[in-house]
Structure 1
């Protein structure tokens, strides 16, 4: 999660919330893609989690990176909890359990995001190496219990941690033990947003299957290929899921705003103070009748912060966020961006993908979402396996990227970034499948080798 917004512009009504989202519209020539990824830090010696404090802790890592790249510290109660490139180059933030996140800049093409990732990992390793810190390429910490996982000093997370157990069994596991990769993409109009939202929601389980990479919990197999994805099924149903309303007649900015208004709030930030209003209604804040803050009215930052606490499989803000994938090694991070750019940023590809998903019912989509965390590529929808479906979607994405014809300095187009996914479909073996084979074979029933073999 990026830093919380501080914009005190007052909002007087629902129409302004709709306009806030609509302001994200851009002509196709200005569409960009941003890539975010989380990674779990650990000590290379002993494979223990990395606390915030200490000479070799997360704070020392942040301080070292700030001195290297010149990014400005993001402070929370006087403590650095992230870094920001004030020139618009992205940000580094901390998830609740110390997961180290790069929120990449909006860039022109997949090649640029891959170079950005390479630079970031090089900088992170230069600072982390002398501290004895490594980073896992897994979608969930494979060994430590929740009690063993450190807690970052970020005040919004205290509020969320207290609320999560009230609304689901696994919300704290989501916060403290999972890691994801995400692609953020633009839209050109309300109709374009709706089309992209529907396609990406319906196909999000396909991405979940292709990127499944979290088969271990508490030092042993957990019965799933993507435990990270399974955790989201029992986190907080008010703010997660497949958004079936997005496929109904009348879908648009207003419908999404009405949905978001009915998602309970976590906090209201005023100055440097986080007010715990967990479970309260944004509608009450909009009307100035929030019981915890009588007379206080909503601001632009309240709306931006509230939207950032909604966690569906695809999230709408002033852009669309693809949220269904486990993190993985660098080539898989680039592959996720390429997958969605290929499907969503070429008109022909988007039309073909829409025709592919159009016959599916809400029950079809939900059943696939429910099955994929455990079954992966073997899950089925409308009589087709996800492996077969993924092969067709990858062909669509590949053709879309080829038509974009954006070339890197070596003369290669963006299709090269899909190669890891083509290999997965060809073999039928996801990252999680390979890890489980290693666990039952060469690793001899231990997850300890993951800290050597699955590290950036």
Structure 2
């Protein structure tokens, strides 16, 4: 999975647990839209690639327990404890104690912690040994985007800022997330794989939902920052992907 994929990970802040829960649910809810919008893999292993969610497919089929959606991400009682319990039950694979890396075998994080404890350094390692679409550390790490040229990466960062640093947008999309389920998101993925831009998802077509996403993100940015969104606005208007933009993958 490390060899076959590359990504743009963007990290965002949260103020307290309640803010974390809203933004974490929102990021999971928006994952498919962010992944589709940044899809940039026309070829894979020397052959044309038809999987618009190729990164997701590789990660989820490598180790489905620790990848994909955190199972309780959209639950009403989700919070720090639920995330911690999920990590604690995960086989750790390897342990890095700051001096050496050792094989953890099939021992869970909780079992390994009986030896190594819970200091700040080892907790950071425990948290790094799960690979969900959205990961919790001291920040929220959004792992949805494909690898992109620098200009597109800047546009994506502006998109994330406009969405997650605007209180109205957080309230809007976290509210949508609270009425959604992980099973619904899996169904959305299958629909998008089949119907692409015309997929009936998020209460709209995918193209329509992406248009709303960009409009709302623009409201959370100043005039200079909004200019970065024009690249994605053009993609949605033309129903194209980054790799279909002439010369855009040259840097």
Q: TM-score, normalised by structure 1?
A: 0.52
- What secondary structure, in the 3-state scheme, does the structure 2 residue paired with 1:279 have? strand
Residue 226 (structure 2) aligns with:
415
Distance between the aligned counterparts of 1:421 and 1:258, measured in 2? 38
1:194-213 alpha-carbon deviations (Å, 9 max, x no partner): 00011110001000110011
Counting only pairs closer than 5 Å after superposition, residues 3-402 of structure 1 correspond to structure 2 as: 174-288=1-115, 296-372=116-192, 376-402=196-222
Cα deviation for residue 299 of structure 1 reads 3.4
- What secondary structure, in the 3-state scheme, does the structure 1 residue paired with 2:207 have? helix
Counterpart of 1:431 (choices 242, 245, 251) is: 242
Distance between the aligned counterparts of 2:205 and 2:167, measured in 1? 26
Report if aligned partners of 1:377, 1:428 keep a CA contact under 8 Å in 2.
yes
Distance between the aligned counterparts of 1:370 and 1:361, measured in 2? 15
Cα deviation for residue 366 of structure 1 reads 1.8
Q: Please report the RMSD computed on the Cα atoms of aligned residues, expressed in angstroms.
A: 2.2
- What secondary structure, in the 3-state scheme, does the structure 1 residue paired with 2:217 have? helix
Distance between the aligned counterparts of 1:343 and 1:333, measured in 2? 15
Report if aligned partners of 1:266, 1:279 keep a CA contact under 8 Å in 2.
yes
Q: TM-score, normalised by structure 2?
A: 0.90
Cα deviation for residue 348 of structure 1 reads 1.2
Distance between the aligned counterparts of 1:309 and 1:375, measured in 2? 34
1:259-290 alpha-carbon deviations (Å, 9 max, x no partner): 111121022224532111143111112233xx
- What secondary structure, in the 3-state scheme, does the structure 2 residue paired with 1:416 have? helix
> When the two structures are aligned, how many residues end up with a matched partner?
251
Cα deviation for residue 318 of structure 1 reads 0.7
Distance between the aligned counterparts of 2:216 and 2:178, measured in 1? 15
- What secondary structure, in the 3-state scheme, does the structure 1 residue paired with 2:145 have? strand
Q: Rg: which structure is higher? A: 1
Report if aligned partners of 1:343, 1:400 keep a CA contact under 8 Å in 2.
yes
1:143-174 alpha-carbon deviations (Å, 9 max, x no partner): xxxxxxxxxxxxxxxxxxxxxxxxxxxxxxx2
- What secondary structure, in the 3-state scheme, does the structure 2 residue paired with 1:280 have? strand
- Greater Cα offset, 356-365 or 324-333: 356-365
Distance between the aligned counterparts of 1:379 and 1:431, measured in 2? 19
1:16-41 alpha-carbon deviations (Å, 9 max, x no partner): xxxxxxxxxxxxxxxxxxxxxxxxxx
Residue 28 (structure 1) aligns with:
none
Gaps of 5+ in 1: 1-173, 289-295, 403-411, 439-451
Give the helix-richer structure, 1 or 2: 2
Distance between the aligned counterparts of 1:251 and 1:355, measured in 2? 14
Report if aligned partners of 2:75, 2:178 keep a CA contact under 8 Å in 1.
no
Report if aligned partners of 1:230, 1:373 keep a CA contact under 8 Å in 2.
no
Distance between the aligned counterparts of 1:374 and 1:315, measured in 2? 28
Distance between the aligned counterparts of 1:453 and 1:186, measured in 2? 30
Distance between the aligned counterparts of 1:280 and 1:304, measured in 2? 18
Distance between the aligned counterparts of 1:343 and 1:360, measured in 2? 18
Cα deviation for residue 315 of structure 1 reads 0.6
Distance between the aligned counterparts of 2:8 and 2:97, measured in 1? 31
